[in-house]
Amino acid sequence: MLHNVKVGKTLRSVSIVGVGATPFFSAVEPGSPYKGFTHGELFGYAALDAMKDAGVEPRDVQYFFHGAANPHVLEAAITPNLQVADWFGMRGKGSLSHSEGCCTGYIALEEAVFAVASGMYDVVLTGACDMGTGMPDGNTPAHMRVPLTPEVLFPDLDSIFDRSYGRYLGGGPGMNHDDWINYYAKTNNLSKEVIDDVLNHQAYHFRRNAHLCERAMKRELYDDIAKKAGYDDVWEYMKSPKNPKMTQYLRTSSDSCVADGAACCIVVPTEIAKQFNAKPIEVLGCGASVLDAIVPHLEKKATAEAARQVYEQTGLTPDDIDLLYVNDFIGSSAFLAAEEVGYLPKGEGWKYVLDGRLAYDGDKPMNTNGGRTSYGHAFGASGMADVFEAVLQMRGEAGARQVKKLPKHTFLRGFGGAQNVRAIILGANY
């Protein structure tokens, strides 16, 4: 029997029945309890955690997808799926490794959905892992990592923006950070001071979310940070040299904190999902849009197109969305993308931020794990970490940070590689 809801034109519906994730941390910081961990160990931990949640064994999994944002630099590997398989009992299983920058984790879910929806497989493991704080140390064993240096990373980033007849000269990353927020400020006649307040409030409330999330990398409240820095007023601290501006608009508090971590999930056909979990979460639709990095306002345009696709697939409207997750490695992308997908009214989202309505205890919750600015940004793994958090919230298993209204529909907006957007809607199927 086929389920009534299908992913686009695919044959059968797909549901998430198990999720797993590591904490997000730094494995290269002196004294880190995670120092010496390897990529395989992290992915394996998340994979086994997801299998346990779904009530399956490695022998039950028929195929797995492995995602990493930049395995060439971060892992000195081109086929990391083969190198990690032994860590969670997948030797000899069919698998695929893929890399789509910081959009990798969302695409990991998308690929698994397609594999099950097609009828090819019934039980698929998918996930992503990145160790963004360090890199391999030459020909030494995999656990002996050294800090990732700009000298290595930035030349590699240049190649991402390569053109047919010349490189983009590093302009892509710089343009992305202020492009959308600058456009928004001018369109809505908002001063730099207002934008500063908005982004400071957003960072403040996302940190409140992370404070209650045991897997988050940065959990210390800004109130406490301000006091340690000698400020009685947290908002004075947020505008101080202790929280300096990095670009025209973005302060340190609005920048992502690079992390190491992994997350995975198990997907199966919806018609058998309750055999694995009493609270399966159905993947209702996936939208995708990719634009070249030289296109003005590419993130805004690609987000709008991906959102259009997923709403068309599902027949849902923005009014149906109860919870939102956004890749906010550029801090301003959070509330801007919330507007673009219809979760917040156009030109009014900044007011919601100032009123604290986007926090876990607000009426428009988003990034309940703290987002990239507090939960941490393990590049490709971060998207799957959003899936992990969304499933917990939709099951009512998020503990102290559980949103007020149990979400029926959750929207995830991924962005990565400075060019790639995914829009995914999950539905509670129980």
When the pLDDT of each residue in the chain is averaged and rounded to a whole number, the result is 92
Question: 251, 222 in Cβ contact below 8 A?
Answer: no
d(CA 315, CA 175) in angstroms, rounded, equals 35
- 359-384 confidence digits (pLDDT tens): 999 999 999 999 999 999 999 999 99
Determine how many CB atoms are found less than 10 A away from the CB of residue 275: 12
Residues 81-107: what's their mean pLDDT? 95
Q: How far is CA 106 from CA 90, 265, 416, in A?
A: 22, 11, 10
Amino acid in position 95: S
d(CA 154, CA 70) in angstroms, rounded, equals 12
Question: 405, 293 in Cβ contact below 8 A?
Answer: no
d(CA 362, CA 353) in angstroms, rounded, equals 10
* pLDDT attached to residue 5: 47
Partners of 377 in the β-ladder: 258
Q: How many residues does the chain have?
A: 430
* pLDDT attached to residue 270: 97
Residue 262 has pLDDT above 60, yes or no: yes
| 97-111, 141-155, 206-220, 299-313: least confident range | 141-155
Residue with the larger pLDDT of the pair 57 and 172: 57
For 215, the token pair is 């897997």
Residue 8 has pLDDT above 50, yes or no: yes
Residue 10 has pLDDT above 70, yes or no: no
For 364, the token pair is 């428009």
Q: Using pLDDT thresholds of 50, 70 and 90, give the confidence band for residue 2.
A: very low
Closest CA to 382 of 371, 391, 390: 371
Q: Which residues contact 269 (CB under 8 A, 6 or more apart)?
A: 3, 12, 13, 14, 15, 116, 122
d(CA 399, CA 315) in angstroms, rounded, equals 31
* pLDDT attached to residue 30: 86
For 34, the token pair is 């995670």
Residues 194-200: what's their mean pLDDT? 98
d(CA 397, CA 420) in angstroms, rounded, equals 31
Q: What percent of the chain has pLDDT over 90?
A: 78
Q: What are phi and psi of 276, to 5 degrees?
A: -105, -35
- 319-364 confidence digits (pLDDT tens): 999 999 999 999 999 999 999 999 999 999 999 999 999 999 999 9
Burial status of residue 278 (CB atoms within 10 A of its CB: 0-12, 13-18, 19 or more): exposed
d(CA 43, CA 73) in angstroms, rounded, equals 17
Closest CA to 30 of 133, 111, 166, 116: 133
Task: Name the region of 347 (left: φ>0; alpha: ψ -120 to 50; beta: rest).
Answer: left
Residue 9 has pLDDT above 60, yes or no: no
Q: Is 381 helix (H, G, I), strand (E, B) or coil?
A: helix
* pLDDT attached to residue 156: 62
Torsion sign over Cα 263, 414, 426, 343: positive
Q: How far is CA 187 from CA 182, 302, 346, in A?
A: 9, 19, 11
> Would you list the DSSP string of 176-209?
HHHHHHHHHHHHTT--HHHHHHHHHHHHHHHHHH
Q: What percent of the chain has pLDDT over 70?
A: 91
Question: 381, 45 in Cβ contact below 8 A?
Answer: no
Give 60-114 as a 3 state SS string: HCCEEEEECCCHHHHCCCCCHHHHHHHHHCCCCCEEEEECECECHHHHHHHHHHH
Q: Using pLDDT thresholds of 50, 70 and 90, give the confidence band for residue 165.
A: low
Residues 266-279: what's their mean pLDDT? 97
Residues 46-74: what's their mean pLDDT? 95
Question: 144, 394 in Cβ contact below 8 A?
Answer: no
d(CA 47, CA 127) in angstroms, rounded, equals 7
Looking up tokens 């398989």, which residue turns up? 85
Task: Name the region of 424 (left: φ>0; alpha: ψ -120 to 50; beta: rest).
Answer: beta
Task: Name the region of 376 (left: φ>0; alpha: ψ -120 to 50; beta: rest).
Answer: left
Closest CA to 13 of 4, 22, 23, 25: 4
Q: Which domains does the chain have, with CATH numbers?
A: 14-154+257-275 (3.40.47.10)
